[in-house]
């Protein structure tokens, strides 16, 4: 299915906090929420960042759900029978692609009438991942703005054509918010440009490339695959030579290897969260999650608030 591009008409300028708050107020202002919930077309997203961005565009015109719960690893996730039933009743299914949620292909087999949107389909991805390229595109807000958001808006319009004007208007607000988010991140990460880090797994190359920092190596090449003693020793040598000041771990993955590496280096462990999720303090929206990660990186690599 061909997804059209977002309209390029002039965008309204506002700060991301004001813009996102305005979108939430817009979404909550309409009456008879229970009736609207039942009548709106349903959209299902594979992971929380997709769900949150999509919901900001959807407003009250569509209902947006997510499959992978907080703290779960999407690469090894298996949907429950109840979740499978929920997908079959959706108008649109949005996934990342590029290896992180390929289990969704089997989920969609045999379903009819469900639009499918793979946001990484056709994109040139950075090297990494499970042989198809690094899928973690959403950790660069400008790629989200330019490559993902137009596809999200167009897919929602296809699912709810009568709401086209409202959906495109919200899309422009989200685009401006993503621009402002990137500017905010650039200011906070400017003091640590040129520095390197080690992470639990390779999720951060897009963010790092945008802001001039370097992922020197990772503890786990693939989820669930323990590193060898030789690989860890090589990583220790590389990190020590580069003067790495912290090791990053993630709540979706085990931290034993990361803490062992940090112990060898004599540096602290900082948590980064590439997914966020409902109920996670400071990470329960895409924009909050990105600010959380930015400040963790700035602190860990020596930047200032």
The pLDDT of residue 72 is: 77
- Dihedral sign (CA 249, 251, 254, 256): positive
Instruction: Of 115, 150, 146, give the one whose Cα is nearest residue 5.
Output: 150
The pLDDT of residue 129 is: 63
* CB-count exposure of residue 89 (10 Å: 0-12, 13-18, 19+): exposed
Low-confidence residues of the chain: pLDDT under 50: 1-14, 27-29, 31, 304-305
* CB-count exposure of residue 269 (10 Å: 0-12, 13-18, 19+): middle
The pLDDT of residue 263 is: 84
Residue 256 CA neighbour count, 13 Å, CB half: 5
- Per-domain residue ranges of the chain: 16-186, 190-300
* CB-count exposure of residue 100 (10 Å: 0-12, 13-18, 19+): buried
Q: Diameter of the chain by CA atoms?
A: 62
Chain segment 235-271, per-residue pLDDT in tens: 888 888 888 888 898 887 777 778 888 888 888 889 9
Residue 139 CA neighbour count, 13 Å, CB half: 23
pTM of the model: 0.82
Q: In the block, which residue shows the tokens 């108008």?
A: 91
For the record, the structure tokens of 246 come out as: 């912290």
CATH architecture of 16-186: 3-Layer(aba) Sandwich (3.40)
Beta bridge partners of 197: 215
Instruction: Of 149, 271, 138, 137, give the one whose Cα is nearest residue 199.
Output: 271
Class of 190-300 per CATH?
alpha beta
For residues 269 and 17, give the distance between their C-alpha atoms in angstroms, rounded to a whole number.
29
For residues 243 and 253, give the distance between their C-alpha atoms in angstroms, rounded to a whole number.
25
Residue 228 CA neighbour count, 13 Å, CB half: 3
Q: Is 190-300 in the same CATH topology as 16-186? A: yes
Contact 150, 6 (CB under 8 A): yes
Instruction: Of 25, 34, 38, 9, give the one whose Cα is nearest residue 165.
Output: 9
């Amino acid at each position: 299915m061909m997804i059209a591009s977002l309209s390029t008409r002039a965008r309204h300028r506002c700060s991301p906090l004001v813009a996102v708050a305005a979108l939430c107020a817009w979404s909550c202002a309409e009456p008879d929420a229970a009736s609207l919930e039942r009548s709106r077309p349903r959209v299902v997203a594979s992971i929380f960042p997709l769900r949150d961005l999509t919901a900001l565009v959807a407003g009250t015109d569509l209902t947006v759900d997510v499959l992978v719960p907080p703290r779960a690893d999407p690469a090894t996730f298996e949907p429950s029978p109840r979740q499978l039933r929920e997908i079959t009743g959706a108008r649109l299914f949005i996934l990342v692609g590029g290896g992180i949620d390929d289990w969704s292909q089997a989920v969609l087999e045999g379903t009819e009438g469900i639009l499918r949107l793979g946001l990484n389909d056709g994109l040139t991805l950075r090297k990494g991942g499970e042989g198809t390229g690094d899928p973690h595109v959403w950790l660069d807000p400008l790629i989200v703005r330019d490559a993902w958001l137009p596809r999200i808006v167009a897919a929602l319009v296809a699912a709810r054509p009568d709401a086209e004007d409202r959906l495109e208007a919200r899309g422009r607000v989200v685009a401006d918010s993503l621009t402002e988010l990137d500017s905010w991140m650039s200011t906070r990460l400017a003091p640590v440009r040129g520095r390197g880090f080690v992470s639990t797994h390779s999720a951060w190359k897009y963010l790092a490339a945008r802001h001039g920092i370097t992922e020197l190596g990772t503890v786990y090449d693939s989820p669930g695959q323990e590193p060898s003693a030789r690989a860890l020793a090589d990583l220790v040598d590389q990190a020590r030579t580069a003067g790495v000041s912290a090791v990053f771990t993630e709540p979706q993955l085990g931290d034993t290897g990361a803490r062992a590496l940090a112990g060898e280096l004599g540096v602290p462990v900082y948590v980064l969260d590439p997914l966020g999720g409902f109920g996670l303090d400071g990470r329960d929206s895409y924009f909050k999650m990105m600010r959380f990660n930015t400040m963790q990186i700035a602190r860990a690599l020596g930047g200032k608030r």
